[in-house]
Chain A
Amino acid sequence: MNKARKNPFNTLAMHGALILYTLIALFPVFVILINSFKDRKAIFREPLALPDAETFSMIGYQTVMKQGDFFLYFQNSLIVTVASLFFVLLFGAMAAFALAEYRFKGNTLMGLYLALGIMIPIRIGTVAILEMMVAGGLVNTLWALILVYTAQGLPLAVFILSEFMRQVSDDLKNAARVDGLSEYAIFFRLVLPLVRPAMATVAVFNMIPIWNDLWFPLILAPAEETKTLTLGSQVFIGQFVTDWNAVLSALSMAILPVLILYVIFSRQLIRGITSGAVK
């Protein structure tokens, strides 16, 4: 261990900075959580106070449960996020493998073309996407969202995964070829398990924007039965009156699944972020 890390003052300063950052990052979440358990007056009188016996109220959660089909929204969001992630990872990994493993004409060009999507925001094409979905009869279906999010996630996935796949030892893949494994078996049984940390990284980077997105659900699938959670929460925000209890309660509940998915991926994620930098 080096000297800087042994010095107690440095340790203190390092932990202090990290704790401060954690507090700042968690503060908004904390405010949302405490206020979701207070009644309307208490929210505005003392936004930072913890709920006590007098101000405690479940009215927000009750409203959310009663109004609109909250569990359906929840389910829609989950289906869209999980399905999109699955397709992003599957197709992204396959494209990355082809780019990293095979020598063919236009390999570099293809890689650049696939990475171009990172630089161009997909929302620029919203009108065209909407026209396409209308023509395909996909408006107000979850498939519309899944397809768009898959397209949105692929560029970064291909970019990151092909970098990692290049690091998988050639000898290993060749050994598998000599042993008689097919290219598909090499991909699924050998390479995918080895780039699992990178897959988790890509999954987390994609998951949060998809879960939080309001734009595409609003445009492509605003029907009652295909509303996502974020869109569903908007019913409580009106032009003149906003039901803050309900909004805060809905948001509190929306945090949960992302948190759970994040915990699942996070162990892998940390390895994924560091493994490229440190051998």
Chain B
Amino acid sequence: MTALTLTNVNKSFGDVHVLKDINIEVEDGEFVVFVGPSGCGKSTLLRVIAGLEDATSGEVRIGGEMVNATPPSRRGIAMVFQSYALYPHLNVRKNMSLALKQEKQSKAVIEERVGKASKMLNLEDYLDRYPSELSGGQRQRVAIGRAIVREPKLFLFDEPLSNLDAALRMNTRLEIANLHDALAASMIYVTHDQTEAMTLADKIVVLRDGRVEQIGSPMELYNNPANQFVAGFLGSPAMNFMPAGYVNDGDGRTMGVRPEDLRLADDGALSAAVQHVEHLGGDTNVIARVKDTQITARLFGQHSINQGETVTLGFSPERLYYFDDNGARVQ
């Protein structure tokens, strides 16, 4: 069964067309990540799915049921917000149980579900505290707990990690991955961070300017990007683009090569002036200029390369990607 089906969904605010003809399917138990730069409409799309915004046209189906006119609370969804959005005047227990009380669940059911969720998230010691007495990571866990207790058909996450510091972000990312395994629930996760997208997703939806650019598993998108945008968006450091004329005289296409596919080679095709070197220990990132283009090479291990040096970089031809003037992938 499909957990969510979007068919030709459009959304406009006045004259501004924010979502253009979105078609997406989410299978049961799938973890789908919407990723794209700021302002690409990914959060708006999530709101349309949640029912916080109405789609201007198109169909939204959750669990096979058409929900265009159903209020958010009856869509069988739960949402985790970027700013946590905990009720400041309620303690953790009441924050988590509010939705169940609204659904008129019995006390025993509420008690049991809150107990289960708080155990899963290590929140048992904090149930009587207020949100202002919790750290950022704990607040985020409460927000997730509030979603879990509802046992929804579909979880929606709106950039849940962007307010956390780097270390905590990684931990919480793992927790969310574990949670997905434990609950086997369908989840939709919005982020602008491609690392989160790559590490969490079963399926990534890349959005740009309100349009779906490509849908596929992380490795599919990484190895086989449909266009220059997807190629440049996924992967860190980002793929290098340069005129293919640098290596083939008279070639008008754009050539793309990933930083990790570049290597030092005396007979390499690219001669690069080193501008900056980042020594990361395990890797060395070399930022250099090839003619008018800045490129990044990610070399494995430690290298003693100095700023101002000229190095020769080579690559295997089969690791190259070519794009036409419009950014579409060509062979």
Contacts and interface: CB of A to CB of B under 8 A. Distances in A.
Interface of A: 169, 171-172, 174-181, 190, 193-194
Given A178-B78, A179-B73, A179-B98, A172 B87 contact: yes
A175 B81 contact: yes
Contact of A171 (B71, B77, B81): B81
The 6 closest A-B pairs by CB, nearest first: A180-B73, A180-B102, A179-B99, A171-B85, A175-B85, A171-B81
Interface centre among A169, A179, A180 (most CB of B within 10 A): A179
Contacts of A176: 87
Contacts, number: 54
B295 interface: no
B273 interface: no
A259 to B, nearest CB: 29
A193 B90 CA distance: 11
A174 B98 contact: no
A95 to B, nearest CB: 23
Interface in B62-104: 71-74, 77-79, 81-89, 98-99, 102-103
B102 A179 contact: yes
Contacts of B88: 194
Nearest to B73: A180
Interface residues of B, number: 25
A178 B72 contact: yes
Interface centre among B50, B81, B89 (most CB of A within 10 A): B81
Contact of A174 (B52, B74, B86, B103): B52
Contacts of B79: 174-175, 178
Given A177-B72, A180-B99, A172 B52 contact: no
Contacts of B99: 178-180
A175 B139 CA distance: 14
B226 to A, nearest CB: 33
27 contacts: A169-B83, A169-B85, A171-B81, A171-B82, A171-B158, A172-B85, A174-B47, A174-B50, A174-B79, A174-B85, A175-B81, A175-B85, A175-B86, A175-B87, A177-B73, A178-B50, A178-B52, A178-B73, A179-B98, A179-B99, A179-B146, A180-B72, A180-B99, A181-B73, A181-B98, A193-B89, A194-B88
A181 B102 contact: yes
A189 to B, nearest CB: 8
Contacts of A174: 47, 50, 52, 72, 79, 81, 85
A190 B84 CA distance: 15
A193 B103 CA distance: 23
Interface in B38-63: 47, 50, 52
A180 B103 contact: yes
Contacts of A178: 50, 52, 72-73, 77-79, 99
